[in-house]
Amino acid sequence: MAGEPKSSLCSFLLVAVILLLSSPSLRSVAATDVVVGGLRGGGYYYADNGPYEVLPVEQHSIRMNATLTECAPGFADFCNVHVDIYRPLTLESGHTNGQDKANLGSDVFPLAIFSTAFMIDTDSYTSYAMRLASWGYIVAVWAPDRELRGFHCTFRSRGLIAAGLIDWVLETVEPDSYTNAQVFMMGHSDGAKSAMLAAEYDSRVVGVLGLDPIDCPPPAQSEGYDYPSAIKLMNTSSALTAWIGSEYGSMRQLRGRGGGGVEVRVMIRRSGTMQFCDHGNPTDIVCVNGDVTRETVWSVAHTVMVAWAECTVRRVNIVDKYLGQWSEEMIATKVITAESRVEQIKSHILMN
């Protein structure tokens, strides 16, 4: 579509301005327990922190396996990434936040991987990692070093790195503390596409969440081997996918491009794509923001994230409570629009 490349431009145009405007005041980490008044009630446990305390973040700088040749050309090393790891502590006795402990499983934690947007650092998504870790997930948030300097990785490279991080975490971060059987992938903008591609590259991914996903190549590039369409490849993955979009962001432009395999679509009214981030970023000056508060966007995104992870990884039935009652209340208050493929979701929940 003619408008889609313009939408993706907002994440990497005006690079010089972005670098000049970066300042410590824009790098402060937002509070991790932000819930909009009126959205928490009604027993919606996933709208709040889970029953686990979360350990302090572990920060790693790593070089991905050189066999990912797409990310390591001779003149530059695309494989250097930095990763923030968030881990839950053991579940406190009696502290289940209204959930049956059986739904949380034992203290064997699933893995979730968050891919950042272009030129957005990992600390812009701290609240997402903290929230999901509090529900018993080990969460890895990653960003390519090269992109933080304003140079784009190919989308194939991004997807391969996201998938490759599964084994890196399994091999290096307490391998006995979680299971590698099922993985949850998520991301924002370019990172949402990375998450979808990772699900297509690695069958261990069972759930995908995209925050305002894009599916177009960057300027001066065309769709092909290095810049594949994640939507066109969706039938190669068995993972269930949910999208949360902003009204003024890129997800609305994906209609008509397929995406029939997306099980849940939520649109946050009067919002822009950079409002998904925990704090302001210089890219705000080239991306349209809405008049809805950032806290509202976080509250919706955090709730859907936890519910979707629990549904796809732990196969908790969210159909009536969240796809039904919660969605209807949010639609009635004109916070979101939403649609879901309930039968496909029920089938997944009932799988052995």
DSSP string, 166-206: HHHHHHHS-GGGEEEEEEEEEEETHHHHHHHHHHHH-TTEE
Task: Flag whether pLDDT at 41 surpasses 70.
Answer: no
pLDDT at 183: 95
How high is the pLDDT of residue 260?
58
DSSP-assigned beta bridge partners for residue 208: 185, 241
Mean pLDDT over 35-61 rounds to: 75
CB burial string 130-164: b at 16+ within 10 A, e below = bbbbbbbbbbbbbbbbbbbeeebbbbbbbbbbbbb
Which of 30-44, 142-156, 241-255 has the weakest average pLDDT? Answer: 30-44
For domain 4-350, the CATH superfamily is Alpha/Beta hydrolase fold, catalytic domain (3.40.50.1820)
- Tell me what pLDDT residue 157 has: 86
* Residues 120-167 pLDDT 10s: 999 999 999 999 999 999 999 999 887 777 677 888 889 999 999 998
> What per-residue confidence (pLDDT) applies to 78?
61
The closest of 237, 177, 231, 168 to 205, measured between CA atoms, is 237
Look at residue 145 in the predicted model and tell me its pLDDT.
85
- What's the CA gap between 114 and 97, in Å, rounded? 25
Return the higher-pLDDT residue of 125 and 172: 125
Per-residue pLDDT tens over the stretch 309-344 = 999 999 999 999 999 999 999 999 999 999 999 999
